[in-house]
């Protein structure tokens, strides 16, 4: 009787060990305090490091008329701030760059451009530098003037150049507002001159050799 009791006790202990061990293994395999497949609510957006460090003095989105405000507002106007956006005409990224403009700032890989928000921001800065260089004499000559009811400002001219090219901005100024270029969506450069007037873009210097590099 005693032997039988001992056997039953050992069998019970082994059974409990196997059951708890298997359960623990299953828990370890299929469960985790860090990862879960059942997420409740909307996933949190985690910003890129460059977004966090872009302007430590400002609290996004309250960036006002700073350079960051200019870039965010223009990017929203172009693509709702979508770095992956490609429109029907093939313009790409947050700032809707055309292929020739990408080449102008030293980018020759569309996939790399679309998949790198940092590269897109650098391309935008390089384009501003180049447009500032092309327009520097006109900015000096016309800044603060009123042409056809539109106040001419450096940031407004840079935004207009982004939309229609620096050459068409020059034509507008040289013809005293008679030659107004409009893009493929029939948006005139004067709209961007008004919408993006009086931003502070002084942190980006004129540079005809500006290139976007990581």
Calculate the average pLDDT of the chain.
81
Instruction: Detail the DSSP E strand segments found in the chain.
Output: 146-147, 150-151
Query: How many whole angstroms from its chain centre is CA 155?
Result: 19
Name the residue among 193, 114, 182 with its Cα closest to residue 160: 193
Whether pTM > 0.85 for this model: the answer is no
**pLDDT at residue 57, rounded to an integer:** 39
Give the H or E element holding residue 7.
helix 2-30
Cis peptide before 61 (omega within 30 of 0): yes
Question: CA-to-CA distance for 51 and 118, rounded, in angstroms?
Answer: 9
Name the residue among 184, 175, 83 with its Cα closest to residue 138: 175
For residue 73, the cross-strand partners are none
> How many CB atoms within 10 Å of residue 69?
21
The tally of CA atoms less than 13 A away on the side-chain side of residue 150 is 25
Each residue's pLDDT, cut to its tens digit, for the chain (214 residues) gives 555 545 555 555 555 455 445 444 443 333 333 333 333 333 333 444 444 344 433 444 557 899 999 999 999 999 999 999 999 999 999 999 999 999 999 999 999 999 999 999 999 999 999 999 999 999 999 999 999 999 999 999 999 999 999 999 999 999 999 999 999 889 999 999 999 999 999 999 999 999 999 8
Q: Taking each helix axis from N to C terminus, what angle separates 117-142 and 166-174, rounded to the nearest 10 degrees?
A: 20
The DSSP-derived string for 127-155 is HHHHHHHHHHHHHHHHTT-EETTEE--HH
Domain coordinates of the chain in residue numbers? 49-195
**pLDDT at residue 174, rounded to an integer:** 97
Instruction: Detail the DSSP E strand segments found in 45-201.
Output: 146-147, 150-151
Instruction: Detail the DSSP E strand segments found in 6-120.
Output: none
Question: CA-to-CA distance for 137 and 174, rounded, in angstroms?
Answer: 12
Name the residue among 55, 129, 123 with its Cα closest to residue 95: 123
C-beta of residue 105 within 8 angstroms of C-beta of residue 130: yes
What is the second-level CATH architecture of the domain 49-195? Orthogonal Bundle (1.10)
**pLDDT at residue 160, rounded to an integer:** 98
Query: How many whole angstroms from its chain centre is CA 59?
Result: 17
């Amino acid at each position: 009787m005693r032997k039988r009791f001992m056997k039953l006790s050992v069998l019970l202990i082994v059974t409990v060990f196997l059951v708890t061990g298997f359960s623990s293994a299953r828990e370890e395999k299929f469960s985790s305090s860090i990862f879960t497949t059942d997420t409740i609510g909307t996933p949190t957006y985690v910003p890129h490091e460059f977004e966090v460090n872009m302007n430590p003095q400002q609290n996004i989105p309250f960036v006002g008329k700073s350079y960051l405000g200019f870039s965010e507002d223009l990017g929203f106007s172009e693509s709702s701030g979508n770095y992956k956006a490609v429109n029907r005409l093939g313009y790409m990224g947050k700032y809707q760059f055309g292929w020739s403009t990408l080449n102008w700032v030293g980018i020759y890989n569309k996939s790399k451009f679309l998949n790198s928000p940092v590269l897109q921001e650098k391309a935008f800065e390089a384009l501003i530098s180049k447009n500032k260089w092309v327009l520097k004499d006109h900015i000096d000559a016309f800044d603060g003037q009123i042409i056809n009811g539109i106040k001419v400002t450096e940031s407004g001219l840079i935004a207009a150049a982004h939309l229609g090219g620096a050459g068409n901005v020059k034509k507008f100024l040289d013809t005293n507002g008679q030659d107004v270029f409009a893009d493929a969506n029939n948006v005139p450069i004067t709209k961007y001159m008004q919408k993006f007037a009086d931003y502070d873009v002084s942190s980006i210097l004129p540079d005809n050799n500006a290139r976007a590099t990581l």
